[in-house]
């Protein structure tokens, strides 16, 4: 290993130790691994990260080859039709980005084939941005009710990205709105639904997200450093 690599991994370790020390009990960190190599992913796991978030199935498979069961694996990417095939469903411990009944049915069908019950989060388009994935806040309850009937899926909460801002305070209303929907659905006590996780906040917004009730945060840059491309 060369000198630069050692310096980089020392920085990564320090980032992780500091971040984990900052967080209240009961908050889980998902390390958002897009564009990182399997070796980089292994490094963060060795430094104390327990959950890896993958946007791309191909990258997930490559990293899984190296890291395996030393971490849990969350899919956090945009769903393409047929993007989650059998091998991917075997890898993932949770899918955070379900936003339609069609996708849920596909996951359910394939999980039934491999005898798995997949925990999922519903992705909420809290910013109501037309080009973004996620269900609109007012549509989430009906979607959860429909998905709750699928036997190989278990709804366990909500995820949101929110619009990208430079100033983290600007994210607050979108996190508040997602929390409101979360509590509303939790209060319904639907069968086969367990509203336990609220996944909100990234490098520039996780502190605000924690104040607004997030118990999963998804962090890329703060853990791995700047991305060259994304
Ligand atoms: C990239 C990504 C993150 C983390 O972004 P950073 O700003 O690098 O922390 C979180 N969630 C999703 C869905 C992402 O794609």
Closest protein CA for atom 10 of ligand 1? 218
Position in ligand 1 atom list of the atom nearest CA 30: 10
Which is nearest to 197 in space by CA: 180, 212, 214, 211? Answer: 214
Residue 37 pLDDT level (bands cut at 50, 70, 90): very high
The stretch 13-20 carries a mean pLDDT of 93
Output the CA 189–ligand 1 centroid distance in Å: 30
Question: How much is the pLDDT for 171?
Answer: 96
CA 135 to CA 147: how far, in whole Å? 13
pTM score: 0.95
Closest protein CA for atom 2 of ligand 1? 32
CA 109 to CA 139: how far, in whole Å? 23
Ligand 1 pocket member 78 (CB < 6 A):
no
What are the sequence ranges of the domains in the chain? 3-222
The CATH classification number of 3-222 equals 3.20.20.10
Mean per-residue pLDDT over the chain, rounded = 94
- How far the first Cα of the chain sits from its last, in Å, is 26
Q: How far is CA 159 from CA 77, 125, 137, in A?
A: 11, 9, 11
């Amino acid at each position: 290993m060369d000198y630069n690599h050692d310096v980089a991994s020392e920085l990564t370790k320090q980032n992780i130790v500091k971040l984990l020390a900052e967080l209240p009990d009961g908050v889980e960190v998902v390390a958002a691994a897009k564009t990182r190599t399997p070796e980089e992913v292994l490094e963060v796991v060795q430094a104390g990260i327990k959950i890896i978030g993958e946007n791309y199935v191909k990258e997930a498979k490559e990293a899984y080859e190296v890291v395996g069961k030393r971490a849990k694996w969350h899919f956090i990417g945009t769903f393409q039709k047929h993007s989650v095939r059998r091998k991917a469903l075997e890898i993932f411990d949770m899918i955070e980005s379900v936003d339609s009944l069609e996708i849920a049915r596909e996951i359910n069908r394939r999980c039934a084939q491999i005898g798995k019950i997949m925990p999922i989060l519903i992705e909420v388009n809290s910013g109501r941005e037309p080009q973004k994935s996620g269900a609109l806040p007012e549509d989430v309850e009906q979607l959860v009710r429909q998905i709750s009937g699928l036997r190989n899926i278990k709804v366990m909460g909500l995820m949101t990205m929110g619009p990208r801002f430079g100033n983290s305070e600007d994210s607050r209303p979108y996190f508040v709105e997602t929390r409101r929907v979360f509590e509303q659905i939790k209060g319904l006590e639907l069968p086969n639904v367990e509203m336990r996780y609220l996944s909100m906040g990234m490098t520039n917004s996780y502190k605000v997200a924690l104040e607004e009730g997030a118990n999963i945060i998804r962090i890329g840059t703060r853990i791995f450093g700047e991305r060259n491309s994304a």
